[in-house]
Amino acid sequence: MQITKTTLARKTSQIAWSIFRTVLIIGLAFAIIQPLLIKLSSSFKGSEDLYNSSVFLIPKHFTLDNYIKVWDFIDYPLRFLNSVLYAAACGLLQAASCSLAAYGMARFKFRGRGVVFALALFTLVIPPQFSIISQFLIFKSFGPATLFSLGTVMAGVDLTGPLPLLLLSATATGFKNGLYIYMLRQYFKNLPKEFEEAAYIDGCGRFRTFLQVIMPGAASMTMTVFLLAFVWQWNDYLYVSSLAPGLNVFNTVISSVGSQINSASFIHFASGQGMLYDAAAMILFILPLLILYLFVQRVFVQGIEKSGIVG
């Protein structure tokens, strides 16, 4: 059977689009993976490999000393446990508070609902560096006088430490909470109202309906929000270093491990050994997240699909 010009042109365009899409995906994947491969390679290098131009990804002087040094210096088991507890606590509080806020915006009609939702989305546009100083001043001297003093430090209670991070998470005003509210609102808005109407007929109040009828069906969506909050809290440096500088987690030490080890060992940083320590520290830092993603990938993708962000 003779192939028409239209069919041939359509098949040619499909093949061309497939090739372009494949090349694009491979290029994006390489751009993401390449820095990780370089860090992984550097973490196993000896100091001799730094000055050998023939060494690129495969070290000639393979060693685990970088990991051993970093593990002992930062007390990895303690910081790992503290980081998990801190990120999980913030993630759970954010998932709970953002679910309540999103459900109220999606289901209840009140004056100014659109303005409140717009303000929640507006927080995504404002860089956190813009408001971190005012937040620090508020928690540094927490009290009614400081809250309404427009940046002037007044007498109050010093709350700097883990508490500000937990308070921000519990009130849906923490890092990236505008995104979580948007995702959950889109999900709640698309739910059939018959679920709630049937619960009201059976005598359930609004909060009980939300807790026992709506939330069980939103488990995957809520889990996705928790995972996003967990990962972002794990990676956050600005809030931790500003509001809880003494918190014994990875974020407070991971950015300068190499220089700190060199200083403690009386090694000049220009020797390059600090870069190898930093590479090992970074691999130890992101390894738990990579392992976590392997187990929760399906839940994460399902939640994103249900949020309405992708079509």
Q: What is the pLDDT of residues 239-248, one digit of tens each?
A: 888 888 878 8
Q: Where are the alpha helices (DSSP H) in the chain?
A: 5-43, 65-74, 76-107, 113-122, 128-140, 144-147, 162-170, 177-189, 194-201, 206-209, 215-217, 219-235, 238-243, 257-264, 273-307
CA atoms of 115 and 121, how far apart (whole Å): 10
Q: How far apart are CA 303 and CA 280, in angstroms?
A: 33
pLDDT digit string (tens) for 62-107?
888 889 988 988 888 998 999 999 999 999 999 999 999 999 898 8
pLDDT value, residue 135: 84
Sign of CA dihedral 19, 21, 26, 30: positive
What is the residue whose two structure tokens read 């659109």? 114
Q: How many CB atoms lie within 10 A of CB 297?
A: 11
Give the Cα separation of 99 and 215 in Å (integer): 9
pLDDT of residue 94: 94
Segment-wise mean pLDDT, segments of 10 residues, the chain, 311 residues: 68 87 90 87 83 79 88 89 92 93 88 87 85 83 66 68 89 88 89 83 84 85 90 88 84 74 59 80 89 80 61 45
Specify the pLDDT at position 309: 55
Query: Residue 88: what pLDDT?
Result: 94
Whole-prediction pTM value? 0.81
Determine the Cα–Cα distance for residues 141 and 149; give it in Å rounded to an integer: 11
- The pLDDT value recorded for residue 311 is 45
| Predicted pLDDT at 43 | 86
Residues 6+ apart with CB under 8 A from 204: 212, 213
